Amino acid sequence: MSTDNTAGSASNPSVEEDLPEQLRIRREKRAALIVRDIEPYPVSVPRTKSLGEIREKYVGLEIDVATGDTESLTGRIIFKRDTGKLCFATLREGDGTELQAMLSLDKVGQVALDSWKSDIDLGDIVSITGEIITSKRGELSILANSWALASKSLRPLPNDHKPMSEETRVRMRYVDLIVRPEARANARLRPTVMKSLRDTFEKEEFIEVETPMLQVMHGGAAA
């Protein structure tokens, strides 16, 4: 995303004043990151395994165990609790798999912990590097040694206690995919079905013809 647009909107008070408070605050945070030479949308961030792979590898791990294994994991923050010297967050990846992240003062340092508290919001995508552990309550977690912002979210996630209306879900499919498991399942099912059909037709030597599929009005291949 271009920083030129950011600078333009930030320098136009009328644009900022017209925004809802949450959107304005998040844009101000993004602008502050850029001033500090922190890229809010870096090309890449550290990632060694998916959250699903971590869940599968360490299933059944006992309570309060430090594995000694260091990984870099990424995910969208859907829960965040900042308390003094220890912060908690829940990361979620594309298929809905979740994992707890823990950031402690003694591991990441004061500067990184303060930045986490002030710069990171629900909906942001982050990369966390640290040791895979289980907490004292038995929750599989990553105990951070460092973290990096992967993508700054400029809009807050919908409130779990106030589900989106059908009209809003249709109009904002990208948000629907973030918050609703059924929407993610359907999105993943469709290409699976299409691949099966394509493989079957290919075996029968059918010719595949490109036709419009992603249109506002149903037509072409989607009709």
Using DSSP's 3-state secondary structure scheme, residue 39 falls into coil
In whole angstroms, give the CA distance from residue 109 to residue 115: 10
Same domain as 90, residue 126: yes
E strand or H helix at 99: strand 98-104
Q: What is the mean pLDDT of residues 63-82?
A: 96
In whole angstroms, give the CA distance from residue 185 to residue 183: 5
The model's pTM:
0.76
Q: What is the pLDDT of residue 217?
A: 67
What is the domain range of residue 180? 166-203
Same domain as 128, residue 52: yes
Tens of pLDDT, residue by residue over 167-217, are 777 777 778 888 788 888 888 898 999 999 999 999 999 988 877 766 666
Q: What are the two backbone dihedrals, phi and then psi, of residue 94, each rounded to the nearest 5 degrees?
A: -55, -35
Q: What is the pLDDT of residue 7?
A: 44
Residue 218 lies in a domain: no
Tens of pLDDT, residue by residue over 9-25, are 444 544 455 678 888 99
Calculate Rg over the CA atoms of the chain.
21
Apex CA 172: angle with CA 169 and CA 178, to 5°? Answer: 80
- Domain count within the chain: 3
**CA torsion sign, 65 to 70 to 75 to 78?**
positive
